[in-house]
Amino acid sequence: MVDLNKPWDEQPSSHTFMPAETGGNFTVWDWSPDGKKLLGWLPGEDVRFAVYTFETGRLESILDNPNNSIPSWLPDSRRFVFDSDDKIFIADIGSRKAKQMIDGDGERLRSPFVSRDGKLLYYTVHKNESNIWLLEVPPNPRQP
């Protein structure tokens, strides 16, 4: 395990951040609150959520990520939230299943994030709005 209080040259030499089987394409988005796992994307034919566990040195594919959503850990370091198709889901790395939490009901929900204490869920609601303004320009008094 990496100890961020120690200089890099004092870290275990056998430790690697990127397992060879990823081909260097594991995109990390969040470090677990317990400091033992990384959560991100594993690209391929279909992008999938994946978890790298420092203790085992294993990278495991968890579930599909069709919208390339950015995941956010919950404080238990076992579950995470993500958005897909205007809904917010909670997923469990043990069961490899996701459950819908919030339906946007026509609103575009994006970027869920959990507070450090796990009591608040933040997300963005994207709306397209516009106004049309009409302006009547009076004739130029200098022109005859």
19-44 burial, b at 16+ Cβ within 10 Å, e below that, comes to eeebeeebeebbebeeeebbbbbbbe
pTM over 0.85: no
| Domain 20-126: which CATH number of 3.30.420.40, 2.130.10.10, 2.120.10.30, 1.10.760.10 | 2.120.10.30
Q: Which of 42, 37, 79 is nearest to 61 (CA)?
A: 42
Give me the average pLDDT of each 10-residue run along the chain (144 residues).
77 57 74 93 82 89 83 94 92 94 87 89 82 81 71
Domain range annotation of the chain? 20-126
pLDDT at 32: 94
pLDDT at 95: 95
pLDDT at 136: 82
pLDDT at 26: 84
Contact criterion met (CB below 8 Å) for 80 and 71: yes
pLDDT at 21: 56
